[in-house]
Structure 1
């Protein structure tokens, strides 16, 4: 075994930087972990650990995930500039750990720590239940049936372009009480870099500014009004904080939920027996959704940055370290799941890692689940003969975000 120091990492390059450079390589003088050195371990055959930025990994990362999970459960990926953690228990611990925050820097719950995180989470979680869920359910159901009926008469269609990419954004837009016409703009922003991590998106901030002013003056029953009128320590959230939370919800709806929904449909269409079972028993839809998130998460690699020394997989890493939580590897850990590569809607406990864990679990996970449920209900009702187009097979791709980009189907 060759032990390496664990140096702190340099500044995070801006969004849009290639994956190999998005998380920087170590460029400082490196200090050893505070408890014991973490080495690059050789596998049983003496092989070196694989890198996530090797050619072909983004096309199919699961063979590499398997090698890492079995032989290198905590290892430094020098090309990526991050420590990789891959076993289910270790990934759960890292995702929920105090001291590890999202990268790049931003203003969402995933970036907050300590009392600030607890105060904002105590505000946001109740806001995303009750009235917000009801508003989203109504918007998702209405939008899903409009989209499904539109494609029902076509001989062949792409569900990603015509359904998956539109439904989550439209549903969240409706829950926030924003005009339906803004859905197309949000879609463009998502394609231009707006994600579930929010960030400072100047066009979104400008779009929201008049809506925030109106909700503060005359609040209604929508989610944006709830956020505008809520208080933390007796003070209302700033416009910047509300915009950050809204950006996170819209970005998550536009990216993570759309990819997760595309994978969800692909898993069901790949197994007509399970699709028929869900068609007969709609109460199985939540379990089918959770199982798809386990097997094919929309974010197989989740990056976190240590704001102070943290313990990951039994080793202490210094502040500044970037940790890559391999959610895709954890979701197929055979020590946690029987037959982990199999899609099984009757699986008793599929886990809940795809939208985070512990204190950093995504508060919008319930909204995403409701969107998926109403979307699938609409498709099953409007497209009774839904099946793959002849000769088509889905080809998911991606590493930080992953899912099929095309789903060609026959509606009838």
Structure 2
């Protein structure tokens, strides 16, 4: 990642206020018991201390962020990263609390679920519920399973394949296209938009608007019981949602269901292929798929960094986030916090309570979490059934790329 790639998220330098102080003494608790860190209250180093930490904006950090994450958790739970333009939170308890804190909101500009607050956010989330439950969910599940089966069977005729390019990009895109009620042939276009930068924050607005507006016009003229139909039929203050609002919300779902789920599915497959004994367990006991998914989301979330803006001062471990500051919630660091998880770098599908930060928490918990889980479940089951000999291709090792979002760039496997 380059500094230029995060400029649109930065607040003016004057808005970041003073550097973190030396005092921190809140009693920090989590489900696994009291948190213990090696630095006592009062010994937290100032951001301007002699030891200079690398920035999130550094290419070295994007290559491997985990050494920085460990240092931040242990010594600087609140740290002003000036090159990146944000205050960093790295401990599990702080990130979990921050993601649910109403004083920390998504930075502008934006028109997605992430950017909605208060009653507007709750009302528009509620509009989608009927399309993700009951008979609608059963029909969606059947469609995703069929797509996963077809994709996996196509690979079964091959000796080698890249699962990222030939499976992970396609199945989530097809799932969210089906959920929204868009034409099946739109799957390739959505997959291309995800590759071009469409994420859960919307992204690629011009291309997405050009694609969605004709679909919205058709749905308003011919209503259907799908997610796009629910958005087109919704009313706020007695009036239908504008096309601009519907576009933004649909783009959220397309980005979350396409890009984020594709990345998370790739990470799940990488973790299981890296641990053949656990892959064999899941193959023999398919009921373990959910546990394998949850543990992969903890260890390798698709969104490593979630950005927020402080509306008021917010006390955290290590000091207080000043009002107006941009805050980077390091989900990738929180998921490997040794104060919350035993042996946190290990992938263990039998881990108790792996946490649920990958899809957010509180009011901004991702509305597509059920669709993502359904997609991962169908995809993994289809691959295990169709590819009984699936393993890493000789000499291949996956390389994770990215920082705000992070996942394996390729998964080259031997299929026979």
User: Does the alignment reach a TM-score above 0.5?
Assistant: yes
Higher helix proportion (structure 1 or 2): 2
SS at match of 1:56: helix
Select between 188-197 and 204-213 the one with higher mean Cα deviation: 204-213
Residues 81, 322 of structure 1: 8 Å contact kept: yes
Matched, 1:348 2:352: yes
1:244 alignment partner in structure 2? 248
Cα deviation 1:116-135 (Å, max 9, x = unaligned): 22222232345433355334
Change in Cα spacing, 1:351 to 1:335, as seen in structure 2 (3 Å) is same
Residues 16, 325 of structure 2: 8 Å contact kept: no
2:7 alignment partner in structure 1? 21
SS at match of 1:80: coil
Matched, 1:116 2:120: yes
Residues 132, 223 of structure 1: 8 Å contact kept: no
**Which of 307, 312, 316 is the equivalent residue of 1:309?**
312
Change in Cα spacing, 1:29 to 1:94, as seen in structure 2 (3 Å) is closer
Change in Cα spacing, 1:299 to 1:74, as seen in structure 2 (3 Å) is same
What is the CA distance between 1:273 and its match in structure 2?
Answer: 0.9
Cα deviation 1:181-223 (Å, max 9, x = unaligned): 1111112222222211115723322322232233223322222
The gaps in structure 2 that reach 5 residues or longer are 25-42
Residues 136, 371 of structure 1: 8 Å contact kept: no
Cα deviation 1:287-317 (Å, max 9, x = unaligned): 11010000001111111122x2141415443
Change in Cα spacing, 1:121 to 1:312, as seen in structure 2 (3 Å) is farther
1:49 alignment partner in structure 2? 53
Residues 106, 200 of structure 1: 8 Å contact kept: no
Distance 2:85 2:271 in 1: 33
What TM-score, normalized to structure 1?
A: 0.89
Q: How does 1:275-286 map to 2 (within 5 A)?
A: 275-286=279-290
Matched, 1:396 2:400: yes
What is the CA distance between 1:84 and its match in structure 2?
Answer: 0.3
Cα deviation 1:205-259 (Å, max 9, x = unaligned): 2322232233223322222222222334443322222211110111122211111
Cα deviation 1:310-358 (Å, max 9, x = unaligned): 4141544344311000101100111111111111111111100011111
1:333 alignment partner in structure 2? 337
What TM-score, normalized to structure 2?
A: 0.88
Cα deviation 1:98-155 (Å, max 9, x = unaligned): 1322245211121112222222223234543335533432232111111111111111
Select between 158-167 and 91-100 the one with higher mean Cα deviation: 91-100
Q: How does 1:9-408 map to 2 (within 5 A)?
A: 18-19=4-5, 21-24=7-10, 26-28=12-14, 31-32=17-18, 41=45, 47-199=51-203, 201-306=205-310, 308-313=311-316, 315-408=319-412
The gaps in structure 1 that reach 5 residues or longer are 1-14
